[in-house]
A and B are shown apart, each in its own frame.
Chain A
């Protein structure tokens, strides 16, 4: 199918975008990589009056080590995040997540900010932001504000970005000496959205969990932090006995969706399967656990 007609504005600066948003209000859509918006346009699921193209805004691209955190511009392409040595070293959970994001041709165009602003409940990157406790910087006509990832994702395709605002950059906390992370998902085809996925960032005290942020995606309408499960694990070392109780604790944290892809019970089962894959990796990163980064995936 072909898109409904629309007008096109090529923005040259953040101010350009904000003034166009001001002028057109909710009739405008920002297009970054367009890897999700273009299908919506082609299928006539979206019908904006005008597209505001931000692809020429070089200031929104790039990955930068700022000492205590990593700044990633909203327009940074997935492929550049996936190949970045800074990300691999300081934010490994994002590097790992990237191996599950779509396919080469889509990663070459799609952007980090686009994925976050779309807030697909089954997407990997929003869950990683919540697991990391990242900050997201949003610009509007009244200046900039920082939104913690916990408050950014509000529901299915719904974020804290208000009308007239745009996402500028994300600030990712660096992985410290005791920090360990892991992510994995179950999808029908590698690169597709997850049926269920999870991202975990933990502070470890040897084999014991000192702090744990275990975040599920594809389960409900937004990334879900498994608080009860984390609370049950804090202070404990990983053991097979611990795994026995996981499913009942996860049932307190998650109310999985029931849809044509998977029943609620199946999703809870998969959440348990993923916890059993990820938690041992956090406890013993040198153990025999498969992991994938982009380089590993071509070197295996």
Chain B
């Protein structure tokens, strides 16, 4: 059994990254330890808690259930790379207003999950999800402060904002679905 390293090249938050990684290094460890992008967190390391959520080629995934070597040639985005995205900015603002962060450990992943959910609703058109649908969506992300109530509240508020202005986001920002 060897621990040889593999050369990879991927785009992380828009920048090309070249590195040598051990096959067993998972993506979230690579992002945190090698690239010092510590916004994605490591919780359970078996895909239950969701704290390690990142986007790979535009879709949210578990960073602990992917190998860094598998991301070779792909585009990886972390919470750090979402700064300035209008929908993400709205989510972050409303999470603060609703006190939906509490300790903050689950927050980056909650935000990425909510971002994909709302983008999808806006993209597929005019559905008014109820709170059960929001709960279903975030059920893959553990919050150990038991703050789900305020997280659901925050996601719902942003969703309503975006649904009522699906072609034009608040403050004249571009359509939240347009970057996908």
**Chain A residues proximal to chain B, CB less than 8 Å:** 1-8, 10, 31, 34-35, 38-39, 41-43, 49, 51, 53, 55, 79, 102-106, 108-109, 189-191, 295, 297-300
Count of B interface residues, CB-CB < 8 Å: 44
Verify if B178 is at the interface (C-beta below 8 Å from A).
Answer: no
Is B2 a contact partner of A105 (Cβ separation < 8 A)? no
Taking the nearest CB of chain A, how far is it from the CB of B51, in angstroms? 11
Contacting pair B140 A105 (CB below 8 A): yes
Known: A42-B45, A103-B50, A190-B136. A35 touches B26 (CB 8 A): no
Interface flags for B94-120 (1: CB within 8 Å of A; 0: not) read 000000000000000000010011001
B140 CB contact (under 8 Å) in A10, A43, A191 = A191
Query: Which residue of chain A has the shortest Cβ distance to B138 in the bound complex?
Result: A103
Binding-face segment, B12-20, B80-88, B123-131, B165-173: B123-131
8 Å CB contact of A104 from B56, B64, B140: B140
| Chain A residue, CB-CB nearest to B140 | A103
Q: Which residues of B contact A (CB under 8 A)?
A: 1-4, 6, 22-24, 26, 29, 45-47, 50, 53, 56, 59-62, 64-67, 69-70, 72, 113, 116-117, 120-121, 124, 127-130, 132-133, 136-137, 139-141
By a CB distance below 8 angstroms, the chain A residues around B117 are 104
Residues of B within 8 A of A190 (CB): 136, 139
- How far apart sit A103 and B53, CA to CA, in the bound complex (Å)? 12
The smallest C-beta distance from B3 to any residue of chain A, in angstroms, reads 4
Decide: A41 and B116 in contact? CB cutoff 8 A.
no
Which residues does chain B contribute within 8 Å of A49, judged by CB atoms? 1
